[in-house]
Amino acid sequence: ATSAWHDVALSDMLAPKKSWRYAVSALCELDSRKLEPDVVDHNIAISSCGSGRQWQQALEMLPRIRHAGMEPTRVTHNAEISSCAASMQWNTALGMLGMMCSYSQEPNVISCNAAIKACMDGKRWEQS
């Protein structure tokens, strides 16, 4: 099991870099050291991927979380929807919003605002 220092350490490592590659590499480093990254570690990496407009990398984290036997949280889904919004992937953002319900994660204001932003940025006014 992980401890809170993993989250702080990963967050501290990523904050100045804001590099999605660095975020994914940091997760792999935790794995290689047998430190078992938790959902928060993955959420940090997803957000970093979103900041780097790497929505596909962000979405690859969801199966990784499940494969490790963890359940994604509302924060996980919100970060993924926001990653899609940052890259104007409105269709994928809406799909992620719909998927939240199938995982018993009710969308909240953050979820809906991120999906609306994706639709607006993608000039899909009618979907927003």
Q: Tens digits of per-residue pLDDT, 3-50?
A: 544 555 555 555 545 578 887 888 878 777 777 788 988 998 899 898
Report yes or no on whether pTM surpasses 0.85. Answer: no
CA distance 47 to 55: 9
CA distance 31 to 27: 6
52 close to 19: Cβ distance less than 8 angstroms: yes
118 close to 90: Cβ distance less than 8 angstroms: yes
User: Can you read off the two tokens belonging to residue 2?
Assistant: 């992980």
Residue 124 has pLDDT above 60, yes or no: yes
3 state DSSP class of 43: helix
- Residues 104-120: pLDDT tens digits? 788 999 999 999 988 88
